[in-house]
Structure 1
Amino acid sequence: MGDAMQTLRALDVLKLVAPAMRPGAVVVTDNVGVFKADSVTWVRDPRNGLASMTVPFRSGTEYPVR
């Protein structure tokens, strides 16, 4: 246990939950244009079973679908 912001920096939650996602499940990630996250690269890789695109809302919103 500890500060969630510190814990989540070292842990990519999406990679953990993606195998349990049902077909058609959606994950919305906001501010991807501001915070360049490794998870964006990961969700865009078709080997990971997701189709993803950035929706141009303000700071970028990533919209991956299983």
Structure 2
Amino acid sequence: MGWSVGARGEDDTPTGRPARRREVGGIEAATYIRDTKDRDGGMLCVGQPSWDSFLATVKAGRLDR
């Protein structure tokens, strides 16, 4: 499975701490998410319908503050 690093985010947060980025990899039925700085620390598995719904919500701006 190939992994993609999240493209959004700054190198540093407003607090001066390094930003935490996530990697996303997928197969047809699911998407896996892991921390780029702790690749052996485990993964979150999300079913494809839930992932697609989440992406639609983000793209529509419904999570913007």
| TM-score computed with the length of structure 2 as normaliser | 0.24
| TM-score computed with the length of structure 1 as normaliser | 0.23
Which structure features the higher share of helix residues?
A: 1
Q: Which has the higher contact order (CA 8 A, sep 6+)?
A: 1
